[in-house]
């Protein structure tokens, strides 16, 4: 069958228009912020408004996060980039060295415009750039004094991959033996506990400091938090101020984050189970998935079809059914193949597994 040569920009516009007309979403629809703000005002549990990020719902959220992660203190920030830069800066200032060890595919290096070097003058040591979690021998191969080691759990740009619990413990022990603090980049840490088989506090206990995000798996409007020792968090707060993170009020972000903790966090086990089921079903209709099985509620789907072709099929299906089953497809490393990330959200639970497999099967048959 011949396919049209629709210009990519035209296809993007068609997708945008089709998405606006959809009535059903496999991975969930982002509710317009004005609608969310009206509803969140009704579910707030603290009448006191925070002032420049202090007090009210923000303080309640910080206490809640500290308790969940088993750490003495936590600080809420408007963005994860600000939170994580502040953490590594404090680690570097305390250690008296600018050298930090990171994965080459970490968010620090892939999505922050080289901020660690440009803003904080940190020196990056890459543990590995392979799509897997780093090993203790790779840490050992980096000589000299390090300020911190950061692990992204899961490694999103590696395909949402996690270490096993035993591998994580061994790596954490290697950091202790080396005398270097371990920092967990836990943007999706909430989603990681089913695979690791341990609680948030047990995972966090392996590290000196932990970062978590509220707008990804928990569906908050925005915001992040860092947890750790009280004196360390006090220093992080100073960097929050230096980087402009003490906005007049963080109320809507804090309320939406607390709502996510109440309503979405308890579903993480079920979301992971559904991801495993969907991955198996998609493989049965001609796709490949990675990891196999998924480590979290998110995984990569690989299609034996060029990206533009399957993207056109996806958009045509959206227009015909008013259902959104996949984000934009991207070329895969193998010529003629494409890939997309599938994130299982509470909305996904409303779809039957065979229904999803049938929809994806149609994208290969057109």
Residue pLDDT, tens place only, 91-110:
999 999 999 999 999 999 99
- Higher per-residue pLDDT: 252 or 89: 89
Beta bridge partners of 209: 183
pLDDT in tens, 23-49: 999 997 766 677 777 777 776 665 677
% residues pLDDT > 90 (the chain): 89
Q: Is the pLDDT of residue 187 over 50?
A: yes
**What pLDDT, on a 0 to 100 scale, did the predictor assign at position 2?**
42
Q: Is the pLDDT of residue 366 over 70?
A: no
How confident is the model over 209-228, as a mean pLDDT?
Answer: 96
With bands split at pLDDT 50, 70 and 90, how would you rate the model's confidence at 1? very low
How confident is the model over 320-327, as a mean pLDDT?
Answer: 96
Report all structural domains of the chain as residue ranges with CATH numbers, in order of start. 8-30+267-365 (3.90.1150.10), 33-263 (3.40.640.10)
Locate the DSSP E strands across 229-348.
288-290, 298-303, 323-324, 330-331, 338-343
CA distances, 96 to each of 86, 148, 179, 253, 323 (Å): 15, 11, 14, 34, 54
**What pLDDT, on a 0 to 100 scale, did the predictor assign at position 186?**
97
pLDDT in tens, 77-94: 999 999 999 999 999 999
With bands split at pLDDT 50, 70 and 90, how would you rate the model's confidence at 13? very high
Mean pLDDT taken over the chain: 94
Rounded CA-CA distance 331/338 in Å is 4
How confident is the model over 281-300, as a mean pLDDT?
Answer: 98
Sign of CA dihedral 29, 361, 159, 263: positive
The whole-angstrom distance between residue 363's C-alpha and the CA centroid of its chain comes to: 27
The whole-angstrom distance between residue 262's C-alpha and the CA centroid of its chain comes to: 18
How confident is the model over 136-155, as a mean pLDDT?
Answer: 98
**What pLDDT, on a 0 to 100 scale, did the predictor assign at position 7?**
57
% residues pLDDT > 70 (the chain): 95
Q: Is the pLDDT of residue 207 over 50?
A: yes
């Amino acid at each position: 069958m011949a396919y049209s040569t629709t210009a990519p920009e035209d296809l993007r516009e068609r997708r945008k228009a089709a998405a606006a007309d959809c009535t059903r979403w496999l991975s969930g629809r982002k509710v317009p912020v004005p609608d969310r703000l009206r509803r969140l005002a009704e579910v707030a549990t603290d009448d006191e408004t925070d002032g420049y990020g202090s007090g009210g719902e923000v303080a309640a959220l910080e206490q809640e996060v500290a308790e969940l992660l088993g750490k003495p203190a936590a600080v809420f920030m408007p963005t994860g980039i600000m939170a994580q830069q502040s953490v590594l800066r404090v680690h570097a200032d305390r250690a008296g060295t600018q050298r930090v060890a990171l994965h080459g595919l970490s968010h620090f290096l892939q999505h922050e415009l080289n901020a660690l070097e440009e803003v904080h003058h940190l020196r990056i040591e890459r543990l590995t750039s392979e799509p897997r979690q780093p090993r203790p021998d790779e840490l050992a191969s980096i000589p000299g004094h390090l300020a911190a080691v950061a692990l992204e759990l899961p490694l999103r740009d590696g395909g949402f991959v996690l270490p096993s619990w035993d591998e994580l413990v061994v790596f954490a022990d290697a950091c202790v033996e080396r005398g270097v603090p371990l920092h967990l980049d836990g943007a999706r840490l909430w989603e990681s506990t089913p695979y690791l088989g341990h609680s948030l506090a047990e995972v966090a206990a392996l590290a000196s400091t932990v970062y978590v995000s509220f707008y990804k798996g928990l569906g908050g409007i925005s915001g992040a938090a860092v947890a750790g020792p009280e004196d360390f968090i006090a220093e992080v707060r100073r960097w929050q101020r230096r980087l402009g993170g003490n906005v007049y009020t963080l109320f809507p972000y804090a309320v939406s984050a607390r709502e996510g903790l109440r309503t979405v966090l308890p579903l993480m086990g079920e979301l992971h189970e559904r991801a495993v089921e969907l991955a198996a079903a998609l493989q049965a209709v001609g796709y490949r998935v990675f990891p196999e099985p998924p480590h979290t509620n998110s995984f990569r789907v690989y299609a034996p079809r060029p990206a533009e072709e399957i993207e056109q099929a996806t958009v045509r299906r959206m227009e015909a059914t008013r259902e959104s089953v996949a984000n934009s497809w991207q070329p895969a490393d193998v010529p003629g193949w494409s890939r997309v990330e599938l994130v299982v959200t509470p909305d996904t639970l409303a779809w039957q597994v065979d229904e999803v497999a049938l929809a994806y099967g149609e994208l290969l048959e057109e």
